[in-house]
Chains A and B, each alone.
Chain A
Amino acid sequence: MIATPVLLLALVAAGPGPMPGQAPRSAEMCGVCHSEVRVTFEASVHAVEGIRCSSCHGGDPSATTVAAAHRGDFRGVPRRRDTPALCASCHADIARMRPYNLPTDQLALYQTSRHGRRLAEGDDRVAVCTDCHGAHDIRRRSDPQSRVFPANIPATCARCHADAALMARYGLKASAFDDYSKSVHGKAFLVKGDRSAPECTRCHGSHGATPPGVGDVDKVCGQCHATTRAFFVQGPHMAAMQAAGLPECASCHDHHQVQAAGPALLDTACLKCHDQDSDQVRLAQTFKTLFAGAAEEIDKARALVDQAAAVPFYVEDYRARLEEARTSLTESYPAMHALEVTPVRDLTAQARGIAREVESEVEAKLKGLGWRRVGLLVFWFYLLLTVAVLARFRRRAAQEPR
């Protein structure tokens, strides 16, 4: 009689068991004591893929006593210095990673990174796998909750790199994240959500994270700014900067704080190394004049096209041609990095030429509008004539006897 309710209670307490064909809960008996960890872990990608607590921590997950569970190969919380090797025991296994199409070179890359090298030297305050990926809560990189989801990467790096006390130990500034947030890249990535803009790992690497050194900066920036780099390597700056130990692109554009480049930069950047009266500064002003002339012409033509669009005239063709002009002007900015006037002059002249053509054609169209006024005068002449005729009829009607 008493057994029945006890049995029922036991069934309810046990909850629904695994469905037929479904893997048993991955935390197994460990979750009985480590219930908070169990909840976190079961939402992770590892739990879904059948990884068990014992895969990392050892021990006997089926044991029903603490002593029995923490026996055998139980290793508790893995030491930080052992973490990369522990993760690599699966993640460097090509056969194991093949079904997931995951790379297996993370440990090799990590060992070349500033983090990995310091860890090897015995400094276990540097980042290990779990600092960026999490431990029990590891999620796929494509999961927005993952710390390594592209949008979350700057914040993940900032957890250590914005920590002034930690960075001071290594003689590093803790301002990297703040500087990046104010940069053209940071604003595009963090504010506009433009995922084509670089976050930390696009320049520094992820597992192999290392600051690019002198001689490499142009290659790193050139991954995206390929045309600019192509002109830069043709010019005299590259060899001169490498000889002087100056970081190539960053010398003028800064690195974390890189701002949107424009002709205004020519007023300040060149003066960092060259005298105000030097030929180099005069060359910079020549570039600036060429850029400004083309931009002014394009803006003038655009204002006229807007005026014509408000009439409205068909202006899509003019707009397309102005885009062409704008493209030539945009192409002239990277061309400047070769420090040769000719390509810049050619491209800006092309931009100015197109803009002037558009300007004169639109002006002619707008002048044609004046004919509407002439037409209006003719119209009013006939209109007044009609009114005069009607008024005459009206007068005649008023004189008729009733």
Chain B
Amino acid sequence: MMRRLLDWLEARFNLTEMFSLLTSFGLFPAEVDSRRPVREALDEALRAPLPSYARWPRILGVLSFILFGFVALTGLLLMFYYQPTASDAFASVTMIVRDVNFGWFVHQTHRWGAQVLLVILILRLLRFFFQGLYAPPREAIWVVAVLALLVAAHADLTGRLLPWDARGYWTTVRAMELVSLLPGLGPLCAALAGGTDLDSLVLTRFYVLHTTILPVLLFVLFYLHFSSVRRVGLSALPEPGRSGRAALKVQVYNLLILTVVIFGGLITLASLLPEPFGVPADPFATPPGARPPWYLWAAHGLVESFPALVPRPLRGLFLEAILAATILLPFLDRASGRSARGRQMVTAAGAAALLIGLILAVVGYRLEGGP
């Protein structure tokens, strides 16, 4: 029956070509000859050996993509009920989480999925850094990974405003205050967002950014990442006691198991640690403990740690310099990869920067008081 359906479809569509779209995206790495019948091409692809870059424990890329898929799917479901106007947003989110069947669950998994995605993207970046996976010819992998983290953080930030609740509203206000410090970028972001005062106009722009522009950008960045990894690969893994390479068919099961486990993890987080539902945003009342989102605590701590005599635009310039140096790291550090000593120094510098970042994050968190 299945075979007959497949034959019937194959006579009318080039199914192999459709399958090759999936493989050429990179989630499922295999080369497919689109002129061959689908069953034959599929069979061959599934038996093909798995490239080194796609094998355990190198799952952060694919994990982040699956999470992105979850967040996109749950976001799509939320869009059915959400109303992006200052007057109706809170009421519509209240309806989603309280009245719609399993609405709370979709909302919480969407929220948790986004946070876990950000954590995975940060871990992936750290891994690239400490393994030196930004040296030529892997500059693009690094730049794309940093951009993906920036885009995901923006997607998260724009999403925090959408429920139009007090906590989300004031978190966004704090983040915008930080962004507005950046010379050049600050005014640009304000122009893109529709102003620095959060009102209905900003909400609409954030909605469009959050549901269309940023997810599409992130999808493109994922494609660029997979594409570049296919071209340049990652460094070879030491494989003590392992011979031969697993087939792609095994990788399909790996992906399925991973998806199920992520799903379970998100459901557990959503059920046991649900984000409490707040009160509507009031632009004239700052709730205690209003601080930027967690990934900006370090930047917040840094900006506020400067002595008062340093003008605020200068602090913004410093932040901007850190951002630029992070993006351009592969072009700034061209020598460290050539000697063991150079790598050690860069690794030590990276570890020190990470430690300082963590301390600044604690400082940034404590600045605001409250819960």
Contact = CB atoms under 8 A, between A and B. Distances in A.
A376 B99 CA distance: 21
B257 A394 contact: yes
Interface size bracket, A side: 20 to 34
B274 interface: yes
A402 B43 CA distance: 10
B247 A314 contact: no
A402 B47 CA distance: 6
B250 A383 contact: no
Contact of A376 (B98, B267, B276): B267
Contacts of B277: 309-312
Interface in B126-180: none
B272 A391 contact: no
Contacts of A387: 257, 260-261
Contact of B253 (A312, A314, A373, A393): A393
Interface in B25-65: 47, 49
Nearest to B257: A390
B249 A397 contact: yes
A398 interface: yes
A376 B249 contact: no
Contacts of A375: 271
Contact of B98 (A313, A373, A394, A400): A313
Contacts of A309: 277
Interface string A301-317: 00000000111111000
Contacts of B272: 373, 376
Contacts of A402: 47, 49, 247
B264 interface: yes
Given A311-B274, A376-B272, A383 B247 contact: no
B87 interface: no
B317 interface: no
Contacts of B264: 379-380, 383
Contact of B254 (A312, A373, A394): A394
A394 B257 CA distance: 9
B74 interface: no
B20 interface: no
B268 interface: yes
Interface string B241-254: 00000110110011
A373 B271 contact: yes
Contacts of A380: 264, 268
A376 B276 CA distance: 19
B222 to A, nearest CB: 24
B257 A391 contact: yes
Nearest to B97: A312
B3 to A, nearest CB: 20
Interface in A14-64: none
A204 to B, nearest CB: 35
Contacts of B94: 312
A312 B90 CA distance: 13
A367 interface: no
A223 interface: no
A375 B260 CA distance: 17
A372 interface: yes
B184 interface: no
Contacts of A379: 264, 267
Interface string A296-339: 00000000000001111110000000000000000000000000
Contact of A398 (B250, B260, B261): B250
Nearest to B94: A312
B69 interface: no
Interface in A348-402: 372-373, 375-376, 379-380, 383, 386-387, 390-391, 393-394, 397-398, 400, 402
Contact of B260 (A313, A383, A394, A400): A383
A397 B253 contact: yes
A400 B271 contact: no
Q: Which of A372, A397, A402 has the most CB of B within 10 A?
A: A397
A204 B278 CA distance: 47
Contact of A390 (B47, B98, B246, B256): B256
Given A373-B271, A379-B267, A387-B261, A312 B98 contact: yes
Interface in A233-280: none
Contacts of A383: 260-261, 263-264
A256 B176 CA distance: 47
A45 to B, nearest CB: 36
Q: Which of the listed residues A379, A386, A394, A400 has the most CB atoms from chain B within 10 Å of its own CB?
A: A394
A379 B104 CA distance: 17
A313 B103 CA distance: 12
Given A311-B274, A394-B253, A386 B260 contact: yes
B78 to A, nearest CB: 15
Nearest to B278: A310
A45 B22 CA distance: 82
Among A314, A373, A398, find the residue whose CB has the most chain B CB atoms closer than 10 A: A398
A105 to B, nearest CB: 44
Interface string B329-360: 00000000000000000000000000000000
Contacts of B278: 310
A92 to B, nearest CB: 48
A13 to B, nearest CB: 51
Contacts of A397: 247, 249-250, 253
B358 to A, nearest CB: 30
B320 to A, nearest CB: 38
Contacts of B267: 376, 379
Interface of B: 47, 49, 94, 97-99, 104, 246-247, 249-250, 253-254, 256-257, 260-261, 263-264, 267-268, 271-272, 274, 276-278
17 contacts: A310-B276, A310-B278, A311-B104, A311-B277, A312-B98, A314-B98, A376-B267, A380-B264, A383-B264, A387-B257, A387-B260, A391-B257, A393-B253, A394-B257, A397-B247, A397-B253, A400-B249
Interface of A: 309-314, 372-373, 375-376, 379-380, 383, 386-387, 390-391, 393-394, 397-398, 400, 402
- Nearest 10 A/B pairs, CB to CB: A394-B253, A310-B276, A312-B277, A397-B249, A383-B264, A390-B257, A312-B98, A376-B271, A310-B277, A398-B250
Given A375-B271, A376-B268, A383-B261, 10 more contacts: A379-B264, A380-B264, A380-B268, A387-B257, A390-B260, A394-B257, A397-B247, A397-B249, A402-B49, A402-B247
